[in-house]
Amino acid sequence: MATTKDKILATALQLFNEKGSEQISTRHIAEAMGKSVGNLYYHFEDKNAIIMKLYEQLVEKLDQGFEQMQSLEVSLEIMMQAVKFAFTTLYEYRFLMINFVHIMRSIPELKASYQALTQVRKAQFKYTFDQLVAQQMIKEEALEIPLEYLQLQSTILGDFWISEAEILYQGEEKDKVKYFTEMQLYNFYPHLTKAGKTVFKKAIESLFKH
C-alpha cells in the first residue's frame, strides 16, 4: 500500500512532468493531493528534497534494470535492450532531463551524486564496448577513437535528447521514445562490423514490438 510519502512523490512527478519543476511549488503539490502544505513539509523539507528523492528513484530503477541485464552474457542485442530501457525510464522522469542544468545548479547534492554516477556508467560502457569488440560486433578501427569521446557522446545524447524532443520533435507522442532510442543506437551503427550490422538490423526491427 502506497504511503503518504509515496503519494507525494507520485503527484510531484506528474506535475513536474506536465508543467516543469520550476513552475510547480510545494503548495501546488499539496493542493493536488487535497492536503495542507504543512502535511507535505512533515515528509519533505522543501521542493528540492522532493526532486532529490525523485532523482534517487530514477537512479535506483536504472541500476536495478542494468543489474538484471548484467546477469546475462553481454551481446549487441542486450546492449540495445539496455538503451531502450534507459530511454524509457528517463522519459518517466523527463522533468529532470528537461530542466537538467537548472536542477544541477540548484541542488549541489544531486550534482555531486550525478558526477559520481557517471564514473560508474563509464566503467559499464567500457566493459560492454570491450566485450563487443572481442565478439567482433564492433570494428577494431573504433579503438582508434578515444573511448572517452565515444562514451561522452553517448552520455550527452542520453542526457539531452528529451530537451531536444521537447523543442523540435514533431511526431506522435507514443513514438517519441522509440524515435530517440533508435537515434542513439544508430549513432553506433558506423562502428559495427558486417556481422554486427546484421545482428543490429534484426534486433532493431523487433526492439519495440514487445
The residue ranges of every structural domain in the chain are 1-44, 48-206
Q: What per-residue confidence (pLDDT) applies to 2?
A: 74
Q: What per-residue confidence (pLDDT) applies to 52?
A: 97
Q: What per-residue confidence (pLDDT) applies to 49?
A: 96
Q: Tell me the CA distances in angstroms from 65 to 81, 87, 194, one per residue in order.
A: 10, 12, 29
Q: What per-residue confidence (pLDDT) applies to 77?
A: 95
Tens of pLDDT, residues 34-71: 998 988 999 999 999 999 999 999 999 999 998 887 77
Tens of pLDDT, residues 5-35: 999 999 999 999 999 999 999 999 999 999 9
Beta-ladder partners of 138: 192
Q: Tell me the CA distances in angstroms from 169 to 124, 128, 166, 177, 203, one per residue in order.
A: 30, 30, 6, 11, 24
Q: Which residues contact 99 (CB under 8 A, 6 or more apart)?
A: 20, 21, 22
Q: What per-residue confidence (pLDDT) applies to 72?
A: 81
Q: What per-residue confidence (pLDDT) applies to 32?
A: 96
Locate 108 and state its grid cell. 549541489
Q: Domain 1-44 sits in which CATH superfamily?
A: Homeodomain-like (1.10.10.60)
Q: What per-residue confidence (pLDDT) applies to 209?
A: 84
Q: What per-residue confidence (pLDDT) applies to 190?
A: 96
Q: Domain 48-206 sits in which CATH superfamily?
A: Tetracycline Repressor, domain 2 (1.10.357.10)
Tens of pLDDT, residues 155-205: 999 999 999 999 999 999 999 999 999 999 999 999 999 999 999 999 999
Q: What per-residue confidence (pLDDT) applies to 102?
A: 93
